[in-house]
Amino acid sequence: MPINPADSPIMGTLYGSDAMRAVFDERAYFQRMLDVEAALARVQGRLGIIPDDAAAAIVAAARVENLRTDELAASARNVGYPVVGLVQGLSRAAGEHGGWTHWGATTQDIMDTATVLQVRAALALIRDELVGIIRALAAQAERHRATVMAGRTHLQQALPYTFGLKCATWLMPLVGHVTRLDQLRPRVEVVEFGGAAGTLASLGEQGLPVMEGLAAELGLAAPAAPWHVCRDGLAEAVSLLGLVCGSLAKIATDVILLAQTEVAELAEPYVAGRGSSSTMPQKRNPIASEYVLAAARTVQALVPVMQGAMAQDHERATGPWQAELLTLPQAFVLTHGALLHARAIAEGLVIDAERMHRNLDATGGLIVAEAVMMGLAPHLGRGEAHHVVKHACDRALAEKIGLAEALARESEVSAHLDRAGIERLTDPAAYLGSADLFIDRILAHAKPFV
């Protein structure tokens, strides 16, 4: 029975995805280790290091069905690593040629390279979902570039904004994350093959050709030297996941705040029963956003574990390496789950433009006080214009009247602006600055992925 909800057949539907769990499934991990052993045998057979018929036998035997779970568990419990049991099972399945398995390799070579193969597949899944969210948010930004709403700072209404710009702002860092992902892949998708202490001494002068051949066989890059204790690539991959989750958490936070009953400017996509309460029939909780936030907090807590595991002693670590195995799969599973939730939100957001307009008017025009101040500044100077408009705002609040009415009662204002001029300055849609241009610039930035 799973201990981590992300691996549960029930709770796992909320915390992860079957696709990402399949990448990091234990049985799949052992098959990837066998894939590395098979690739090693093929390379060494071509180079004449092991007999051709031995290489063929090892390749044919490198199937997870040939391993026994009970033997692997007993060996791992005794040895501390799973590869000794794996090699024993592979050698037995290869028959008389089994003595040529794992030639010149060490446990960490096989496990690290299998992990890299997992990460390669996992990063492809992450990238696909990031691009899907970018496309959905780009469409929302275009569709709502003229949907005016209240921009908020410190949770207070600040200036007029557009929902289109909000969506574009949500997607902007996601474009950066795809770029980061593409840039880091050559640094993490690297074969590991160094032998007992990173010198490949057991292979003599053929060590480097085997390492390069193994990399080519697996479609990975060959490092300048073995990276047994250089963990920056894997740490960078998980650090990227922390960044991705941070950006998703920003979206989820905004959605939760805008979905509050008193705000009600948008809602998560409606599905019958989704986000419902066991006791309150009226509830439609922003459940997807909540799980995005839960995943983000956990993934970001895992980043320091991976970065801390970079402090590896001498030529083979005593503990930090093992911590990676607890961290990396969980970070990928949770991130992919968060991405799936975020994509559903981005594609199906229910936007109430009328409510946005009503909320924009909730302050009786105070949200455009800066617009009036800037309109008066050429006549009065900025400082005096600020003082005059502040006095009008205080009057509006005290007397419960609109800002336009309060401004009309200020002699310093009426001396320079008639009522039509005041109405123009207090129109929220007329004070959006470069919002449209910013949307255009962000969408241009996202164009390669849309």
Exposed/middle/buried for residue 383 (C-beta within 10 Å: 0-12, 13-18, 19+): exposed
Q: Which of 42-56, 182-196, 306-320 has the lowest mean pLDDT?
A: 306-320
Asked whether residue 45 is domain-assigned, the answer is: yes
- Reading the block at residue 352, the tokens are 């109430």
Q: Residue 179 sits in a domain of what CATH number?
A: 1.20.200.10
Give the pLDDT confidence of 111-137 residue by residue, as tens digits: 999 999 999 999 999 999 999 999 999
134 and 236 in one domain?
yes
Q: What is the mean pLDDT of residues 199-212?
A: 96
pLDDT at 10 over 90: no
Catalytic residue selected from 27, 77, 143, 277: 277
328 and 390 in one domain?
no
Residues in contact with 357: Cβ distance below 8 Å, sequence separation at least 6, in sequence order: 148, 149
Strands 266-267 and 156-162: unpaired
- Reading the block at residue 158, the tokens are 């600040």
User: What's the CA gap between 336 and 345, in Å, rounded?
Assistant: 14
318 and 268 in one domain?
yes
Asked whether residue 196 is domain-assigned, the answer is: no
Asked whether residue 52 is domain-assigned, the answer is: yes
Residue 274 has a pLDDT of 56
Asked about 277 being catalytic, the answer comes back as yes
Q: What is the mean pLDDT of residues 36-60?
A: 97
Is 236 in a helix, a strand, or coil? helix
91 and 126 in one domain?
no
Is 266 in a helix, a strand, or coil? strand
- Reading the block at residue 234, the tokens are 């894997």
User: Is residue 57 within 8 Å of 95, Cβ to Cβ?
Assistant: yes
User: What's the CA gap between 23 and 123, in Å, rounded?
Assistant: 10
User: What's the CA gap between 214 and 192, in Å, rounded?
Assistant: 9
pLDDT at 291 over 60: yes
Q: Which of 178-192, 257-271, 281-295, 338-352 has the lowest mean pLDDT?
A: 281-295
Give the pLDDT confidence of 72-81 residue by residue, as tens digits: 999 999 998 8
Asked about 382 being catalytic, the answer comes back as no
Residue 36's pLDDT band (boundaries 50, 70, 90)? Answer: very high
Asked whether residue 99 is domain-assigned, the answer is: yes
Share of the chain above pLDDT 70, in %: 97
User: What's the CA gap between 243 and 303, in Å, rounded?
Assistant: 10
348 and 394 in one domain?
no
Residue 1 has a pLDDT of 66
Residue 104 has a pLDDT of 95
251 and 372 in one domain?
no
pLDDT at 95 over 90: yes
User: What's the CA gap between 253 and 266, in Å, rounded?
Assistant: 13
pLDDT at 184 over 90: yes
Strands 148-153 and 350-351: unpaired
Residue 200's pLDDT band (boundaries 50, 70, 90)? Answer: very high
Share of the chain above pLDDT 90, in %: 75
pLDDT at 449 over 80: yes
Amino acid at 330: Q
39 and 161 in one domain?
no
Asked whether residue 10 is domain-assigned, the answer is: yes
User: Is residue 198 within 8 Å of 180, Cβ to Cβ?
Assistant: no
pLDDT at 337 over 60: yes
Q: Residue 64 sits in a domain of what CATH number?
A: 1.10.275.10
345 and 242 in one domain?
yes
Model-level pTM? Answer: 0.92
146 and 257 in one domain?
yes
437: left (phi over 0), alpha (psi -120 to 50) or beta: alpha
Residue 84 has a pLDDT of 95
User: What's the CA gap between 204 and 185, in Å, rounded?
Assistant: 30
Instruction: Calculate the average pLDDT of the chain.
Output: 93
Q: Residue 414 sits in a domain of what CATH number?
A: 1.10.40.30
137 and 50 in one domain?
no
User: What's the CA gap between 263 and 319, in Å, rounded?
Assistant: 50
Residue range of the domain that includes 393: 366-425
Asked whether residue 82 is domain-assigned, the answer is: yes
Which range in 104-118, 283-297, 359-373, 415-429 is most confidently predicted, on average pLDDT? 104-118
Catalytic residue selected from 46, 316, 355, 409: 316
324 and 246 in one domain?
yes
